[in-house]
Amino acid sequence: MNEEQRFAFDTWGFLTVENALTPEQVTALKATVDEHEADLYSQLKVNGGFWSQEFFDLLDVPVVSSLLDEIYGGTPPDGLPAFRIDHINVHTHGVFNKDLAGGGIHGGNGRLLHPQQPHELLSIYSDRDPDTGVFRNGLVSVAYELEDTVCNGGGFGCLPGSHKSHAPVPEAWRELSKGVHPMVTSIPAPAGTAIIFTEALSHVTLPWTAPSTRTTLFYKYTPRDETYCAEEKFFHPSDADGWTGADDRKRTILKPPSQEFIERRTELGQQRAATQGA
Ligand SMILES: O=C(O)CCC(=O)C(=O)O
């Protein structure tokens, strides 16, 4: 991470990497999306697997993975990635953009907003050790823009710095279809850019007014031994079988969290439900 990226991620909760994808990758990925439907929790084996080699390659884009390692506390001693893929979403305008009028602001730092809850249940957080400067993060998104979001005022929006907030986003700001509060910041990104943001950052889809089709791929990661999504949505190392570049790195990224973590999380979730129901 260079000093600009470290400042941006620490202070605002996101950073951008221009040219993370080559124009050839952008073209190939867009063509593949056009053959499919925009999809949440996409690329899972049960749904047919990765749509193409380019979709598989995006699991581990070197310029992005080195940043993710730092975001997740540094490269582990085994030299393999510090993170796993949690889920992949494919968005196009009009499908997930509420008739292009803008979405609802969501996200927030679970550990600051709900400090009384067990950490295992709060997969959305962002932290930095004040002494060492080491980052610790839960769910982190890498949004690959396949269409310019520079001049049209649409695309990814957020409240920079809100990943450090102990207070929820004001209700009156939340629903963008009712109006975009001036504090909501648009993050312009030419096609091929990766926007890397912690889901602890309050963020949103801005109204899209351009005639072009916005196409964005969201690769969402967690630390190796954590999860955001439920067990039936896990990827598995064998999902790499048959693809070029199916190495130990990719298989580590596709690995589910440990069984111990899953059981502990399930138990804590049941305890919380019982307490809330009591
Ligand atoms: O449209 C965007 O860029 C924001 C997407 C979003 O809200 C999310 O991935 O949680």
What distance in angstroms lies between residue 199's CA and the mean position of ligand 1's atoms? 9
Beta strand segments in the chain, E: 14-17, 83-92, 126-128, 135-137, 140-145, 155-158, 185-186, 194-198, 203-206, 215-223
Q: How many angstroms separate the Cα of 263 from the Cα of each of 56, 115, 130, 259, 260?
A: 29, 22, 32, 6, 5
Q: Which pTM does this prediction carry? A: 0.95
Q: Which two tokens stand for residue 278?
A: 């009591």
CA angle 24/30/36 to nearest 5° reads: 140
Model confidence at 97: pLDDT above 70: no
Return the pLDDT at 274.
Answer: 87
CB of residue 202 inside a 6 A radius of ligand 1: no
How far is Cα 278 from Cα 276, in angstroms, rounded to an integer?
Answer: 6
Rounded to 5 degrees, φ, ψ at 241 are -55, 135
Instruction: Work out which ligand 1 atom sits closest to the CA atom of 96.
Output: 1
pLDDT at 109: 97
Is the confidence at residue 52, as pLDDT, over 90? yes
Q: Does position 213 have pLDDT exceeding 90, yes or no?
A: no
Ligand 1 centre from 68 Cα, in Å? 18
How far away, in angstroms, is 208 Cα from ligand 1 center? 13
- Ligand 1 centroid–CA 182 distance in Å is 18
Note the pLDDT of residue 241: 97
Does the beta carbon of 205 lie inside 6 Å of ligand 1? yes
Atom 4 of ligand 1: nearest residue by CA position: 205
* pLDDT at residue 99 is higher than 60: no
Is 93 a residue whose pLDDT tops 80?
no
Q: What is the pLDDT of residues 230-258, one digit of tens each?
A: 999 999 999 999 999 999 999 999 999 99
Domains observed in the chain? 3-277 (2.60.120.620)
Cα 148 to Cα 221: distance, rounded to the nearest angstrom: 24
Q: How many residues does the chain have?
A: 278
Residues ≥6 apart with Cβ < 8 Å to 83: 68, 69, 71, 72, 140, 221, 222, 223, 224, 253
Do 112 and 164 form a contact (C-beta atoms < 8 A)?
yes
Q: Is the pLDDT of residue 64 over 80?
A: yes
Task: Band the pLDDT of 98: cuts 50, 70, 90.
Answer: very low
pLDDT value of residue 3? 96
